[in-house]
């Protein structure tokens, strides 16, 4: 993105690239699993548009304005919203632990943003990251339902296919700036002395940033609930922040570092509450 490829276009090529890889794999393995029943179409559209298109796009938009670690922390408040969905939409009574997790998690976000000093973070960046958290919530909840009736590979291929179609409609492929893929980009931070073609970076994002991790998450959802899977996903902000510090020299001050820990504690408590269901209302 720093080389000029927009978040919209990076999301588009990331999605179509991962879709082609997964589609060819699933088609060769079991093409019947790609068949879609009419009743499955609405939930698949929601999964593709929100679970893939929105999550990826909003994340890229967020890190244009925020540190990677902060953007990931806000994004992974998704377990809190999953717990709230359980309580107010599914009408189940959960323990007080969920409320404590919510309060603690939001307190941590306030520490990260240092709200007493005014808005120290880019407001639009925070908005994008928060919307990404909501989209990620949809991904976990809808994905949990889909992998109950379809294989992980087929679910991902179909979701990416719908996401690719969505982007093709709003920004046609014939207007894609393919010439930018040939440009040589100088990396940043610790890797600032290395230059690589843009298409290699895009290929890395497609394989290691999309196809493999999304496949693993959906596979995990076959044996775990959405809440458990998202709880394990809490480690992503931690590792994201560590690698951003190592490779990009992105740093948080002491207060923001404390806020990160507080948010993770809140998310953990909210997820524990997800499993302490007392009964239906």
Residue 279 falls in which region: left (phi positive, over 0), alpha (psi -120 to 50) or beta: left
pLDDT in tens, 106-160: 788 778 767 666 556 888 999 999 999 999 999 888 988 888 788 888 888 999 9
| pLDDT tens-digit readout, 207-219 | 998 888 888 887 8
How far CA 170 is from CA of 8, 55, 59, 61, 243, in Å, comes to 10, 17, 19, 17, 33
Least confident of 28-42, 61-75, 156-170, 211-225: 211-225
d(CA 16, CA 203): 11
Quickly tell me which residue has 């046609």 as its tokens. 172
Count Cβ atoms within 10 A of the Cβ of residue 80 and give its class: 0-12 exposed, 13-18 middle, 19 or more buried: buried
Which position has the higher pLDDT, 156 or 79?
156
At 276, phi and psi to the nearest 5? -105, 55
């Amino acid at each position: 993105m720093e080389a000029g490829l927009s978040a919209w276009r990076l999301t588009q090529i990331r999605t179509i690239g991962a879709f082609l890889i997964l589609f060819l794999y699933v088609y060769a393995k079991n093409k019947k699993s790609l068949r879609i029943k009419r009743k499955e179409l609405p939930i698949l559209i929601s999964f593709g548009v929100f679970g893939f298109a929105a999550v990826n796009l909003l994340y890229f938009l967020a890190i244009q304005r925020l540190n990677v670690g902060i953007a990931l922390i806000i994004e992974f408040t998704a377990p809190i919203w999953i717990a709230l969905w359980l309580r107010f939409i599914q009408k189940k009574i959960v323990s007080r632990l969920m409320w404590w997790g919510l309060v603690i998690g939001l307190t941590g976000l306030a520490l990260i943003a240092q709200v007493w000093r005014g808005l120290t973070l880019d407001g639009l960046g925070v908005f994008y990251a928060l919307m990404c958290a909501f989209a990620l919530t949809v991904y976990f909840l809808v994905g949990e339902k889909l992998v109950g009736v379809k294989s992980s590979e087929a679910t991902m291929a179909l979701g990416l296919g719908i996401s690719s179609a969505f982007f093709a409609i709003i920004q046609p492929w014939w207007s894609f700036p393919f010439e930018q893929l040939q440009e040589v980009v100088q990396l940043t931070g610790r890797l600032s002395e290395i230059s690589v073609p843009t298409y290699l970076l895009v290929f890395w994002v497609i394989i290691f940033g999309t196809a493999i991790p999304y496949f693993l998450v959906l596979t995990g959802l076959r044996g775990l609930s959405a809440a458990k899977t998202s709880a394990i996903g809490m480690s992503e902000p931690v590792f994201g922040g560590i690698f951003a510090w190592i490779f990009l020299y992105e740093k948080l001050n002491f207060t923001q570092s404390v806020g990160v820990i507080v948010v993770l504690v809140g998310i953990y408590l909210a997820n524990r509450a997800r499993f302490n269901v007392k009964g239906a209302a």
